Structure formats: structure tokens, C-alpha cells
Amino acid sequence: MKCLRALLTVLILSAAPLAAEQLFDLKEVVPGVYAAIARPQYKVNCNAAIVLLDDGVLIVDTHSKPSAARALIEQIKTVTDKPVKFVVNSHFHWDHYQGNQAYPGSWPAGIEIISSEATRESIERRGVPRVKHEILTMPTEIEKLKADLAKATDPKQKATLQENLRQAEEYFSELKTMQVTLPSLTFDRSLIIHRKSRTVAVLWLGKAHTDGDVFVYLPREKVIASGDALHGWTPYMGDSYPYDWIHTLEEAERLDFEYVIGGHGDVMDGKGTFELWRQYFRDLLDETADAYAQGATLDQARKRVAAALQAKYSGKFPETFPKDVIPNIEKAYRVVSGATE
């Protein structure tokens, strides 16, 4: 079965229009359900889940910019001629909603953009100010890339910096003209789309990576799309609710599923990553609480907790874990000290 899926992926990609930049690798997880795995970019895109319905298509998440969403739309057209009718924003982070604008523009007859009510509010209250802030800071970022490129001597490094600069300048240009497109349909706990051939449940199970994360669940197909509440990289905890996150993962794990399409990384089989993340959060919080209780400063806690977690989780997370774990310790320290939730 996996060999057949790999062959289907190759055929899908080879059939895509050459004019459209290939930003995603399409993988058929089960018949009619695809994972669009984002290829590496200077400004990261999230993955998407593509669900073929009887009368249309449902997409989970829209990436960091409208052009990335339009590139995926071209790839979607290689597997179906059905219109996209539903778009789900799993949460409010920039790399999951900033491409919303592309979908009503491609299907003006009508598209519903779905999110939890908390996510819509967070896009308005936090997402929009962050876009404005990035517009102010991007020129400095671009100038640094130019300076690094001017100093670079290694041909491979120069090529990488040149490509990063190209992408940064294009992203900045697009960011300045982007129209923030808010969800048009929101809910508190659950929204269920019923079609003859399949049912799609969009579920808010509790606070996690943000206050509004949703899971998109296909009960017959046993597939779940988890956004950044669970993915193949090290968790990012900047806007998270760590203790709630553990319980939310427990609620999601009770669902009957075999495949998980996360917001980043490859498709996951089974529930092993749920168990890994829950244990990681417990250890992170316990180790940090112990350090804080013994009077450790934030700097001391960083060193102490990082050593303990690296010893236990080396090889279980990506190779960037030693760097990625530091902001997680800082978040945990703020939580256990009472500075934030």
C-alpha cells in the first residue's frame, strides 16, 4: 500500500503544471484524503490537509502567504476538478492563515473559511498587529541577508543566502499588499460537515498550542489533521497553555484514528507522537518547576533543564532540539513562576 501511495505521489507531482512553483509534496494518506507536505522555504509554510467531498474540497490551513496557497491550488487541480468549498484555519499563527485571501479569489462563488471563535478573535487582536510589526522589521532582516551575502566566500553558502534573499524580498512585497481574510464561520466546540461519502468533524478540544486550536477528524477514514497542536518538529510554545495542552492531547488521542497530518513534518502513523509530546511536556514542566523551587534563576534553569531534557529526548525530536528546547524552558519558567498561564 505504501509503495502504491509513493507511486501516486510521483504521478501527481509529475502531472502538475510546470509554471506553478512546487512548494508541496502531495501524499495520498487514504483514498480521497491528501497531505500537502510543505517543502523548506526561508519563510516557512505549513502543511495542508486536502479532503475530497462529494461536491467539493475541504482544505486545512493556508500557509504564510497567498502565493503559497495559489501554488497549492494548482496542485489540487491535478487530483480533482471539484471546487474548494471549505477552508479550515487550525489556529491563528501567521504560517497557517495568511494565505486565506487566495481561496475566495479563486472561487468567488462562495467559500466558507472555518475556525474556532477564539482563533478568529486572535487573528484580529494578535495576528494583524504581528503582520504590521513584521512589515516594519522585514527591511532590517533583508539588509542583514544582503550584508551576509556580501561577506560570504563559500559558493554553497552564497547560493543559499542569495535564494533566501530572493524569497525574503518576494515575501516582503507580498506582505505589504496582503489582505487579511478572516474566518467567515466560527464555532465554540464542534462543527460537523455531513456528506454522503464522508463526515468531517472540526473539533475544539481545549487550549493547546494556542487558545483556539482545532483538530479536523475523519472518523470513517481514521485520519486526523492536528495543525500545530501536534506535528513532526519540536513543539513551539510561545502562545501555548502547557498544562492544558497535555489534557487536550489526551482528549484527541481518545479519537479512533490511524494517521495524523500535522502542521509540519511528515504524516504520522498511530498515536506514538501524542504520547511522546505529552511526556515531553510533563518532563519539561516538572524539571522547570523543580529548578524554580530550588531558587534557580532563568539562566540557571535553562542550563539545568536543557541538560536533563537533551539526555532523555536526544534522537526523539529533530536534530535542532538542543536549540529549540531553550525557548520552551523559558516558557515553562514563566508558567511555573506565575508570570503567565
Residue among 118, 160, 11, 13 at smallest CA distance from 74: 13
**Which grid coordinates are listed for 144?**
542583514
What pLDDT does residue 109 have?
76
Alpha carbons within 13 angstroms on the beta-carbon side of residue 268 total 23
Place of cell 511536556: 281
- For each of the chain's 341 residues, which pLDDT tens digit applies? 443 344 334 333 333 333 357 899 999 999 999 999 999 999 999 999 999 999 999 999 999 999 999 999 999 999 999 999 999 999 999 999 999 999 998 988 789 999 999 999 999 999 999 999 999 999 999 999 999 999 999 999 999 999 999 999 999 999 999 999 999 999 999 999 999 999 999 999 999 999 999 999 999 999 999 999 999 999 999 999 999 999 999 999 999 999 999 999 999 999 999 999 999 999 999 999 999 999 999 999 999 999 999 999 999 999 999 999 999 999 999 999 998 87
Residue whose C-alpha is closest to residue 58's, from 68, 66, 48, 67? 48
CATH superfamily, domain at 2-120+181-270:
Ribonuclease Z/Hydroxyacylglutathione hydrolase-like (3.60.15.10)
Taking the C-alpha atoms of residue 3 and residue 8, their distance in angstroms, rounded to an integer, is 9
| C-alpha cell recorded at residue 98 | 495568511
Predicted pLDDT at 19: 38
pTM for the whole structure: 0.92
Using a CB cutoff of 8 Å and minimum separation of 24, what contacts does 128-134 make?
Answer: 128/180, 130/94, 131/94, 131/98, 131/175, 131/178, 131/180, 134/94, 134/175
Alpha-carbon gap, residue 37 to 164, rounded angstroms: 20
Assign residue 197 a region: left if phi > 0, alpha if psi is -120 to 50, beta otherwise?
A: alpha
Instruction: Quote the cell numbers at residue 326.
Output: 531553550
Q: How far is CA 278 from CA 31, 136, 232, in A?
A: 30, 37, 14
For the chain, give every residue range classified as CATH 3.60.15.10.
2-120+181-270
Nearest to 209 by CA among 236, 243, 247: 236
Strands (E), 93-221: 112-116, 185-187, 190-194, 199-203, 215-218
